[in-house]
Structure 1
Amino acid sequence: MGRARRFLASLSVQVLLALSLGLAAGMGAQRWGLPGGSATADMVQSLGQLWLNALRMTIIPLVFSLLVTGVASIADAARAGRMAMKAVGWFAVLILFAVVYSVAASYGLLTLFPIDAEGAKLLLAAAPNAGEVGGAAPIGEFIKTIAPSNPIRAAAEDAILGIVVFAVFFGFAASRLPERLRVPLTTFFEAVGETMI
């Protein structure tokens, strides 16, 4: 009995049970209809949107704080010795390998399993706003957006790339501070990251 209670008390099990219950409720509503009709559907949709917004509001502070503490600690470790520099070098090599592999794998999979032109047309026809997709922005415009002139606006607009670049620069700048200033700053961002998690 105690083992079953501990199993059900696990957060992962509770999340899995809640997802299963939501899936079953959705299937039941699809088959037999919702009590209350569209008013109930609107209420459920509003609650779901509230939950998603609550999750999304933690993303920017989490990404920023983890990057700042990570970059500051890597820079500290890199100053400490050659082993840390090797680790950073391997990290860079592995990231480069992952990028090259993912590009090659996608082209390889598209060669093995080409997209049928007729199926692609049907998929685009079924997609809402498919006609609004424009061409890619010029590379000069993309380069301008890498470093945001206003990081607060970038956070408000969910411009993750700009936030990442700002956080990396901020972390490197924090690693150059004297220890009496650097330690409280990185401790603060570490606490922010843990709070968001």
Structure 2
Amino acid sequence: MSQPPVAQAVRRDRTHYLYIAVIVAVLLGIGTGFLWPHFATELKPLGTGFVNLIKMMISPIIFCTIVLGVGSVRDAARVGRVGGLAIAYFLVMSAVALAIGLVVGNILHPGDGLHLTEAAKSVGHTAAADAHEGPVDFLLGIIPTTLVSAFTEGEVLQTLLVALLVGFGLQAMGRAGEPVLRGIGSIQKLVFRVLSMIMWAAPIGAFGAMAAVIGETGTDALKALGTIMLGFYLTCALFVLVVLGVLLRLTTGVNLLRLLKYLGREFLLILSTSSSESALPRLIAKMEHLGVSRPVVGITVPAGYSFNLDGTMIYLTMASLFIADALDQPLALGQQIGLLLFMMIASKGAAGVSGSGIAVLASGLQSHQPALVDGVGLIVGIDRFMSEARALTNFAGNAVATLVIGTWIHEVDAERVKLVLAGGLPFDETTLVDEGDDSADGDGTAGGEGGDAGGPGPEGSAQPAPAAHPAPQPAG
């Protein structure tokens, strides 16, 4: 009986070394960028390649998670209740993030004293041309060309739509759809297994990404634009620690710092790649392991990656005010609010990808304040560093949203949450899937040891099982 824990301890040690390697790789990348900047910029494909490998897995993971979550629930109204509550929550939190950024930006006036060069002017117009044309195009873009094109094009919202349709279809089939659900459960195990293999390339990707950004940027942009960077980081920290922290404590009784510690390796991965998408699959697995029911995780996390972009909201606010001040064209309060409300809509779907914030910023300015588009070039030099703070804040916001929404509709195992966050039920860092041994006393289950230790799920909810349970359990 003592062998399985020993074997698991060895596996955890191996992944512990992996994340130590990521930290070392980040430090080496920073050093390489400063010492050999020209060589460092040539390493950019290493970081891009790793992020692309992760993004390759996003669509199948979202599809399997949502189909299993929706298909295993016999009450369609329950799924609609989760989705409706999630969208309402996302809109409120986006407005709060915009308001905080607006207040801090108007207090700091970070753009005062900067001067625009001719070379910087063209950057904004190029970025605006690359952005989406407007909300109508965004809505039409949710519909894929074919049922399978959502997977080949890697569009999160298209995958979300297809998965919901398939999930509701299987739900309507009743017991006749259970063999399909079991098959998708097996596919999910395979997908997470492939993801665990890709994760071993994380140190290489982190080294290439960090070396390239330091080599391209150097210290000039950091010195010249340090005020907005510092203000932006402080604002994001204020939002996460105060707004999200208080909300989480009042709603669930959970300490935010414990939740952030539980997700520490995901934050490290985001910091090294500047993309919150790189941690999306692990967030799904970890939130289910934490004790949130599968339908809540399956709907809230993927939707949040497109609609709950708190860090992006703060960035758009402060960047707009920064550019207006730098060009000596300060915006009146009414102009600020109108511009930012448009950007709140335009930003939906710009999830996780490094650099998407610049395109949304330029597009919003082009539509509402064309004279300010020239100033986008001022912020490009430090956008990569601000992208990291955006991604970290977006990720923290989605983790909190999943736990809060699950608590509101009574689909969180509160005792399991306490046990996991206290370290009594560790997440299996070796792989995100089980070893196919269903008789392992709950110690070898997907997403962590003791997958069934939490006991029955909350009343009326699906069992809050780890992400890769062999088969979903239909809810009563």
Please give the range of the TM-score, normalised by the shorter of the 2 chains.
0.5 to 0.7
Larger deviation, residues 145-154 vs 110-119: 110-119
Judged with a 3 Å threshold, the aligned counterparts in structure 2 of structure 1 residues 26 and 151 are, in CA distance, closer, same or farther, namely farther
For residues 7-57 of structure 1, the C-alpha deviation after alignment (integer angstroms, 9 at most, x for no partner) is 786132222222222222222223xx65xxxxx853x33434333332222
Question: Is 2:128 aligned against 1:130?
Answer: no
Alpha-carbon distance between aligned partners in 2 of 1:183 and 1:65, rounded to the nearest angstrom: 9
Amino acid at match of 2:23: L
Judged with a 3 Å threshold, the aligned counterparts in structure 2 of structure 1 residues 123 and 155 are, in CA distance, closer, same or farther, namely farther
Amino acid at match of 2:67: V
In the TM superposition, 1:7-46 aligns within 5 A as 10=16, 11-30=18-37, 34=39, 42=42, 44-46=43-45
SS at match of 1:15: helix
Judged with a 3 Å threshold, the aligned counterparts in structure 2 of structure 1 residues 113 and 41 are, in CA distance, closer, same or farther, namely closer
SS at match of 1:147: coil
Contact 2:68 2:181 in 1 (8 A): no
Alpha-carbon distance between aligned partners in 1 of 2:117 and 2:91, rounded to the nearest angstrom: 28
In the TM superposition, 1:1-197 aligns within 5 A as 10=16, 11-30=18-37, 34=39, 42=42, 44-73=43-72, 75-76=73-74, 78=75, 85=78, 89=81, 92-93=84-85, 95-114=87-106, 122=116, 126=120, 129-132=123-126, 133=128, 137=133, 139-177=135-173, 178-197=176-195
Contact 1:146 1:161 in 2 (8 A): yes
Gaps of 5+ in 2: 1-11, 196-476
Alpha-carbon distance between aligned partners in 1 of 2:117 and 2:192, rounded to the nearest angstrom: 42
TM-superposed CA distance for 1:106, in Å, is 0.6
Judged with a 3 Å threshold, the aligned counterparts in structure 2 of structure 1 residues 139 and 55 are, in CA distance, closer, same or farther, namely closer
Larger Cα Rg: Structure 1 or Structure 2? 1
Contact 1:71 1:171 in 2 (8 A): yes
Show the counterpart of 2:441. none
Gaps of 5+ in 1: 1-5, 35-39
Alpha-carbon distance between aligned partners in 2 of 1:52 and 1:166, rounded to the nearest angstrom: 24
TM-superposed CA distance for 1:59, in Å, is 2.0
TM-superposed CA distance for 1:108, in Å, is 4.1
Alpha-carbon distance between aligned partners in 2 of 1:180 and 1:152, rounded to the nearest angstrom: 22
Alpha-carbon distance between aligned partners in 2 of 1:190 and 1:108, rounded to the nearest angstrom: 39
SS at match of 1:57: helix
Larger deviation, residues 6-15 vs 180-189: 6-15
Alpha-carbon distance between aligned partners in 2 of 1:89 and 1:192, rounded to the nearest angstrom: 30
Alpha-carbon distance between aligned partners in 1 of 2:104 and 2:96, rounded to the nearest angstrom: 12
TM-superposed CA distance for 1:165, in Å, is 0.9
Show the counterpart of 1:37. none
Contact 2:61 2:191 in 1 (8 A): yes
TM-superposed CA distance for 1:68, in Å, is 1.9
Alpha-carbon distance between aligned partners in 2 of 1:123 and 1:99, rounded to the nearest angstrom: 37
Alpha-carbon distance between aligned partners in 1 of 2:103 and 2:62, rounded to the nearest angstrom: 35
Amino acid at match of 2:22: V
Alpha-carbon distance between aligned partners in 1 of 2:105 and 2:190, rounded to the nearest angstrom: 45
Alpha-carbon distance between aligned partners in 1 of 2:180 and 2:14, rounded to the nearest angstrom: 43
Q: Percent identity?
A: 21
Alpha-carbon distance between aligned partners in 1 of 2:15 and 2:151, rounded to the nearest angstrom: 36
Amino acid at match of 2:32: A
Judged with a 3 Å threshold, the aligned counterparts in structure 2 of structure 1 residues 162 and 187 are, in CA distance, closer, same or farther, namely same
Contact 2:55 2:154 in 1 (8 A): no
Amino acid at match of 2:52: N
Contact 2:71 2:170 in 1 (8 A): yes
Q: Cα RMSD between the aligned structures?
A: 3.9
